[in-house]
Amino acid sequence: MTVVELRRAAGAARRLDLHRGIRVRLLALVLLALVPAVAVSVDHALEARAASAREARLDALRVAGDASRRQAQLIEETGRLLSSLAQVPAVRRAERPGCPRLLAR
């Protein structure tokens, strides 16, 4: 190769490196521009997840409260039933034929 050919090849290589450098810089710039949008999206997703967790916790507390109130109501009704049964003479004396027949109804 002659000196002229070597210079042409070197110039072409420099131009190619320059284009590659511009591409890399442009790609880096685009990626850098996307960082805030990705950060906002991640933040929004985390906040939505936290809100869902709070809502689920409140729902669980509501369901537990409803179940607790229903359980208390059943206990109270059972107490009234047992008090009523305790007033029946056959139950009070534990009479053999009368008590089982009454409780079977």
Residue holding tokens 């009454």?
Answer: 102
Q: Render pLDDT for 55-65 as a digit per residue (tens, 0 to 9).
A: 999 999 999 99
Proportion of the chain above pLDDT 90, given as a percent: 49
Q: Is the pLDDT of residue 16 over 60?
A: no
Residue type at position 4: V
> pLDDT category, 17, cuts 50, 70, 90?
low
Average pLDDT, the chain: 84
Average pLDDT over residues 76-96: 85
Kindly report the backbone phi and psi dihedral angles of residue 74, in degrees, each rounded to the nearest multiple of 5, phi listed first.
Answer: -65, -40
